[in-house]
Chain A
Amino acid sequence: MKLAYWMYAGPAHIGTLRIASSFKNVHAIMHAPLGDDYFNVMRSMLERERDYTPVTASIVDRNVLARGSQEKVVDNIVRKDKEETPDLIVLTPTCTSSILQEDLQNFVDRAQLDAQGDVMLADVNHYRVNELQAADRTLSQIVQYYINKARKNGDLPSGKTEKPSVNIIGMTTLGFHNNHDCTELKRLMVDLGIEVNEVIPEGASVHNLKNLPRAWFNLVPYREVGMMAAEFLQAELGMPYVNITPMGVVETARCLRAIAKVLNEQGANVNYEDYIDNQTRFVSQAAWFSRSIDCQNLTGKKAVVFGDNTHAAAMTKILAREMGIHVVLAGTYCKYDADWFKEQVSEYCDEILISDDNGAIGDAIARIEPSAIFGTQMERHVGKRLNIPCGVIAAPIHIQNFPVGYRPFLGYEGANQVVDLVYNSFTLGMEDHLLEIFGGHDTKEVITKGISADSDLNWHKEAQAELNKVPGFVRGKVKRNTEKFARDRGINEITLEVMYAAKEAVGA
């Protein structure tokens, strides 16, 4: 048992659901108790999704506990197959089904007999993998399933596309800025004259998965999701992949060079050096920013970075290599993939922290006292407590991290965005600091006095106590309305009764 208040990566089934609901016309059925369909709420709220999230639960209740699911799961699959005719139904185990140890594969096999669409059991174990690992696995599992199916049916297309082309693998729903990153990568590919063959899983149809082999190579922009699928495609079909995250100017260039190499090996004869040079020096603002006086002011400032592997590693490199910032500590919560992270960042920071205990990272921040933090929402709140600004660079994230405006983290526009994020975090810190030096602009007190100074009314102790329970941001309004109510009626003493009466009368 572990005492925990907060977790960075969610449970395994969330990963599976993120993959399933990213595809078009794929439905996931969770084998879970009432209330575990919380994923739908997250997707509907955070992503502001217009469509019903294609996830339902086959409810595990007391009866299931006593007699097993029996026909229930099968019936639910077949029913959903009829109602919505999805291409694929993914039966998703949860922590509950992990312990019940029902033969879910058997349910899938039985349901497949009656269902028009495909039915599959997600191969994830709650106690062995987390959200990210499960997402990686499920994506790979679905890709394998449809490649193998096409092979069996003999309709796996042979040969590559005429022009160089790419599959972008790993874009998912609820992924950190994934939709903007996807747009940016597509633009980048257009610039490079590379056709985008397929993007998976976001917005893809499972029927198109058989076309994956037509691409010249696979691009896996995120470390966490997509590697297993890319490795499968390489092993089975000899497709090369590039898995350098194009985040930051230097890494974007490295990614493009890797792409050029992969394409040239297949006879494309491309050279992106001019493009890289032009983008770096004249189109993107990031390289120029590094050279500007603004950035000079940041030299040697201390920062702490924490997040998932992809973003924490890329951010550490950008801060240290491209902006001259002193990254005291870089950390990740992807414990299962710690070696990769260490290898990526070891030359760019003083310390490395591999932990999924937010207490540990909180303590480290308090000890180091950096000028800025780049982390998840949790680090943002640590920062609030310690008065240190924080830029959010990785999940877990809140609704404000799903911006409507265009905010990629990848590619050249992504580099611009990262500059703003970094610079804004630090200058805010600087501004606060200067305000403190110059005594601050504390107008708060004055304003309240101005509004309530004319109070000739007597507040009873209980009424005052009651008023103090009202949340601060409406307290002034409640007070004013109550006093107005009292004055209008010639009451000069405000008791609890008067407060309630005022509330009833004027909604104070």
Chain B
Amino acid sequence: MKSSRSIRLISRRAASYVSRPTSRLTTTTERRQYSTHPPNARLNLPIDYSATPLLSHSSQTALATPDLPSEGKNSTTKRMNLFQAINDALSTALTEDENVIIFGEDVAFGGVFRCTMKLAELHGGERVFNTPLTEQGIMGFAIGAAAEGLRPVAEIQFADYVYPAFDQLVNEAAKYRYRDGSCGRSVGGLTVRMPCGGVGHGALYHSQSPESLFTHIPGLRVVMPRSPLQAKGLLLAAIRSNDPVIFMEPKILYRAAVEQVPTAAYTLPLGKADVIKEGKDVTIVSYGQPLYTCNAALEKAEADLGISVELIDLRTIYPWDKETIFKSVQKTGRVLVVHEAMVNAGVGAEVAAAIQEDPETFVRLEAPVQRVAGWSIHTPLMYEKFNVPDVARIYDSIKNTLEY
């Protein structure tokens, strides 16, 4: 209970921080809230989620989403934030398949981030329930249920707490189909949801982005949505997928990102990147929340430098869509990879290595691949804004690659 209160506050606080208009700044002599930005900042301004082109603010833009299948295109839409979209996807999954069950710590009353709100009341305590506080138990239980034909959606309360379940994920979930061979059993019905990423003040254990640890495990699919519309489509695809999926939810977006979301049940393809914005001079590859930062940086860079930048959302971090990335880099010749997780052995390392490894892409490179990511440190409370890639660092990286 204490935890849920604190977490709700964390996310609510984060949401109000990021959507607050820039004009509310006070003089420097007054005691400043830590969530404000420097008075003369031109680049590192808070993301304005109400205006960003990465979210569908109208029904028309939502329904024009690339990859949206016909059931989505012919649907009505509704304004939802990220946790509501996830709730909508979970509710849809529970309704359409009796084998879907949802469990984890504190999910029955609605979850500490409200993602499972009303699901227990609507679908019964046998299908949506609390587990004891044990991540390895949650994962082991989920694997057993999936191996016997259920489609469990397990929740790890924070990605920071997935490590006790690591053995179950690496040695069991990922290898189940492979070792069972022609017996044919797998845990393909398994989806593991976990909130991830920084929220401004989550410090060491409420901020982590451990996606690259999962991308090193054959057998798992790793997905991270950037918006409510994406979250619903990708989560439904994950639940319907016959491979186990790690579904990571940037918790800073739970309340901050609001957009029109098709009300119908629709999926978005796993393993396929999304070219958010076309450009010809530089490619930026990212996923999750940093895409908003990337977009703010590229808007400034385009205005200042008279260039055009292509922005690509990986969406699925593993197995990832190399073809789309290679095609873009062959066109632009310059590329940045941006992520919040620390730089060493992160997703950026894999993307950069694959780019230089592909003969047709390598010869088109005009500059070294740049990585803008967290430093190789833990996530410290007071220093988060110097650690997470911000608009200024991405802007600078765009300049660097152009000046090379």
A binds B: no
